Chain A
């Protein structure tokens, strides 16, 4: 079974530029998550989708971050404009459902460096 795919794996941009990350979840997984993991910290949830609807985006900085999940499958996360403090690994995860017991499967992440 193919895992969660993310691209690109690494990205370096200058502050005030824009960047987009792509995620393809495990086939059949209705729930998709984007996390931000700053170096030395645990991941923090940015946004959760159930199919193509947003379940929780309370911690998404909406003035600069946006995310969408077209047709309830692939998802993109965009940052515009980027700030130095956005340097982090952006993890995508998926699960079969939204229940607490459902295991979340994580992708390899995209490491973003903002200079």
Chain B
């Protein structure tokens, strides 16, 4: 069974600085998708960034980028120039068949 592990229950960052959220996963598949979702307090979950496993190039979306290490089964999210609006729960997710989520990391942004 596929599992997704986020080892950091909570992280904090100063506004305008950079923070990295960690994620590891376990799979025997070679072609799959990885995602980071953001869930603000009492608001809807939204997709932040996605990575296709067969693509070696790391995905980037504005201030958000990933470090995808396929052999190590690692998929970290880097948020640059952190903003107050980035404060949320972040979920790493894996998809081959159904979408499997990690336990989440609460990100606090300090002004």
Contacts and interface: CB of A to CB of B under 8 A. Distances in A.
Interface residues of B, number: 22
A44 B101 contact: yes
Given A41-B104, A42-B102, A42-B104, A100 B32 contact: yes
A2 interface: no
B44 A103 contact: no
B70 interface: no
Interface of A: 3-4, 33, 40-45, 48, 56, 91, 100-101, 103-104, 106-109
A76 to B, nearest CB: 20
A43 B103 contact: no
B53 to A, nearest CB: 10
B46 interface: yes
B45 interface: yes
Contact of A42 (B47, B93, B95): B93
Contacts of B99: 33, 45, 104
A100 B45 contact: no
